Amino acid sequence: MSWKEELTKQAVDAQNKPAKFGEDIDILRFKKEASDVSQAASIDKLPNNIAENAKSVGINPDEDNRSGTFFQLDHSVVLACQKKETEGVEVLSTPQAINKYDWLKDYYWKAASVDADKYTAMTELHQNAGYFIRARAGTRITKPIQACLFIGTQGLVQSVHNIIIAEEGSELHVIAGCTTHPDVSSGMHIGVSEFYVKKGATVTFTMIHGWAEDVDVRPRTGAIIEEGGTFISNYICFKPVRSIQMYPTASCIGRDSRVRFHTLIYGSKNSLFDVGSRVFLQAEGSRAEMTARVIATDSSRIISRGHLIGDVSETKGHLECRGLLLSNEASIHAIPEIEAKTAGCDLSHEAAVGKIQQAQLCYLMSRGLNEDEATALIVRGFLDPEIPGLPEHLKYEIKRTIEMTSEKVM
C-alpha cells in the first residue's frame, strides 16, 4: 500500500468521527461542487466586491508591500506567485507542490493527523487545493506573503490543506485572510495547516477571519519547531460567525525552541467560538507564551482554552486569558490547563473575566466622550495587541484591522 493509499484508508475510517470539542456539524448539508474560476494576473483584476472583502481581512489587492500572493476562490486557485525580486521563497498550490516535490510526502500529514476527526478526514478525501509556502535555507523575508481563502458560492464547503516550511535559518511572515462574498451568508470552511520551522528559523503567521454570519469554520493546525526555531501565531476574528472551533497544537522538539500564540476575538450576535491552543514542550530550553483577549457581546458565547504540557525539565510556559463581557446574554468560559510531567518545568496561568468598570466610563465621559465613544475606546485599548517581537508592519496590519472593525461593530 502506498503512502497516499494509507492516508486515504485512515481518512475513510475517520470520516464520521466527531471532534473532541465544539458543536458537531453535518458536513453533508453543504454542497461540494463549485464553478471553476479562471486564473487572474492580480487580485485587483477580480470583481471589486471580492477585492474589497479580501482587503477587510488584511489582503492588499494591489499586492503592495508583499513578497508573494496566494488567492483561492471556492475550489479554484486564482493566483499563486512570488515577486520576481524575492529570491528563496516559493508560493504554490498544495497539489502543485505534491506533484513537483517527491520529498513533500515526508511532511504531508506529519504535523496534523489525517484521522483526528471528520474534518481532517474530509480534507484528505475531498481536498480543494490550499497553499504551499516555502522559505529556503537562509532566506529572510521581511515583507509578508499574503494568502486569501475566499468562499464565493452560497452553502459551499471548502476544505483546504496548507503546508508552510521555513528551512534552516530562514525568516518567513505570512498574512492569511479568510472571508466570503457579500452575497454569501452560509457555508463551511475546513482548513488544515501544517507548519515546519527548522533549526534557527522564524515563522510569523497572522490569520484574520471575516466570515458571514451563518458560516461554520473548522481550522486544524499543527506546528513542529526545531532547535532554536520560533513560531508566532496571531489569530483575529471580529465579525459574527455561526461557529468556529479550533485548537492549534505546536510541538517544541528542538532545544531552545519558542512558540507564541496570541488570540483576539470580538464575539457578537449569536456567534459560538470554541478556540484555544496547546503546546508540547519536548526539549530543554523550550518556551511557550499563550495569550487571549476576548470580548463577548449580544448573545455570543466564547470558550477560550489553553493547554501547556512540559515533557522535559528546563522548560517554561505561561498562558493567560482576559475576557470582557459587554452583554448579560453573552458568556465567556476560560479553561486553562498546565501539565508538568517532570521536575524542572516552570508553567503558569492566569484568567480573568469581567465587565467594563463604571469608573472608566465616567472618567472618559468627563473628558467629553459620550458613552458609546467611551466604550469603543476601552474596547480598542483592550484588543490592542502587545506582542513582543512582532515586526512593525505586522503590528500595523493588526491595528488597522482593529480600527476597521471598530467602525462597524463597536
The cell for 265 is: 476575538
Same domain, 302 and 320: yes
Domain membership of residue 72 as a residue range: 3-356
- Dihedrals phi, psi of 394, to nearest 5 degrees: -75, -35
Residue 259 · residue 225 · CB < 8 Å: yes
Q: What is the pLDDT of residue 409?
A: 46
Same domain, 349 and 366: no
Alpha-carbon distance of 265 to 293, in angstroms, equals 6
Alpha-carbon distance of 182 to 178, in angstroms, equals 13
Residue 155 · residue 185 · CB < 8 Å: no
Same domain, 227 and 334: yes
Each residue's pLDDT expressed in tens, for the chain with a length of 410 residues:
788 899 999 999 999 999 999 999 999 999 988 877 777 777 878 888 899 899 888 898 888 889 999 999 999 999 999 988 788 999 999 999 999 999 999 999 999 999 999 999 999 999 999 999 999 999 998 889 999 999 999 999 999 999 999 999 999 999 999 999 999 999 999 999 999 999 999 999 999 999 999 999 999 999 999 999 999 999 999 899 999 999 999 999 999 999 999 999 999 999 999 999 999 999 999 999 999 999 999 999 999 999 999 999 999 999 999 888 989 999 999 999 999 999 989 999 988 777 766 666 675 566 666 767 666 666 666 676 666 555 666 667 667 666 665 554 44
**What would you measure as the largest C-alpha separation in the chain, in angstroms?**
73
Same domain, 338 and 393: no
Give the total number of structural domains in the chain: 2
Residue 213 · residue 180 · CB < 8 Å: no
Domain boundary (341, 356, 371) is at 356
Which residues make beta-bridge pairs with 106? none
Residue 317 · residue 336 · CB < 8 Å: no
Same domain, 349 and 363: no
CB under 8 Å, gap of 24 or more: what pairs does 381-390 form?
A: 382/293, 382/295, 382/322, 382/324, 383/264, 383/266, 383/293, 383/295, 385/234, 385/262, 385/264, 385/293, 387/232, 387/234, 387/260, 387/262, 388/260, 389/230, 389/232, 389/260, 390/204, 390/232, 390/234
Same domain, 132 and 279: yes
Same domain, 352 and 408: no
Give the predicted TM-score (pTM) of the model.
0.92
Alpha-carbon distance of 68 to 133, in angstroms, equals 9
Same domain, 206 and 121: yes
Same domain, 262 and 410: no
